[in-house]
Amino acid sequence: MPLNIAIAGSGGRMGRTLIEAVMRDANMKLAAALEISGSPYLGKDAGEMIGTPCGVKITADVERALKGCDAIIDFTRPEGTLHHVALCRELGVKMVIGTTGFDDAGKKAIADASREIAIAMAPNFSVGVNVTFKLLELAAKSLNKGYDIEVIEAHHRLKVDAPSGTALRMGEVVAGALDRNLKDCAIYGREGVTGERKDDTIAFSTIRGGDLVGDHTVMFIGMGERVEITHRSSSRMNYATGALRAAQWVMSKKNGLYDMFDVLGFR
């Protein structure tokens, strides 16, 4: 039986890509398409977003739409995702969360809900990006002395949070491999007379422009050499196919909070 999938943020770029991915997948069925109240897409056929009508109307009635769904895939904004978390917890619907930018209270709400429902949450569901995370872990452990670390990310001009969730996760992976706490060693941008770089810091730089899908580079800069690990996305479809893989995987779990390392068997 195909999994009944709900897509949040159906009118957005990622929402449309997810709709296309679900409609292509023989193991998935688009059961619900969600948008916020006041959206110009409400009432439209979700399949029309990709040129293939499917009979599923886009709605803002989340509770009604989620009934009968196995899982929701949510790449929206923290406030919307947290509303969905509360309803999924109540209805027993599993979740794949690609939303970034949660504060500590939001993260706690998701962790609390995961005691009752299974949630796969990651800043990036691309298989390639998660392989990159693993490579960064290895690099950091090997280049653990005498190397300065810079994380550079670039996204489209409409992205609202910075640094990206993927860049922050890269920083966390590197910091963890070096037995550091990212909150204690991160530097976000530089301006003016900053003085010499301090040892054991991890710095972030952000670029926003045009229609860039997502580029991430981590530089390990030593005296006389530089190691760069880069991932570039040219399409959102790789995020969508990874999210579908996570949705399929999370169905085997009763509850708990997981990420793509769990889905890919990296732990």
Which residues is 74 bridged to in the sheet?
Answer: 97
CB 204 within 8 A of CB 133: no
57 catalytic per annotation: no
Token pair of 214, please? 């997502």
Q: DSSP of 71-82, one letter per residue?
A: EEEE-S-HHHHH
Active-site residue identified among 159, 198, 231, 254: 159
Token pair of 83, please? 């509303």
- CA quadruple 211, 43, 26, 65: dihedral, nearest 10: 110
155 catalytic per annotation: yes
Question: In sequence order, which residues have a C-beta less than 8 Å from that of residue 195 and are 6 or more positions away?
Answer: none
Active-site residue identified among 94, 155, 216, 231: 155
Q: Would you name the residues annotated as active-site residues? A: 155, 159
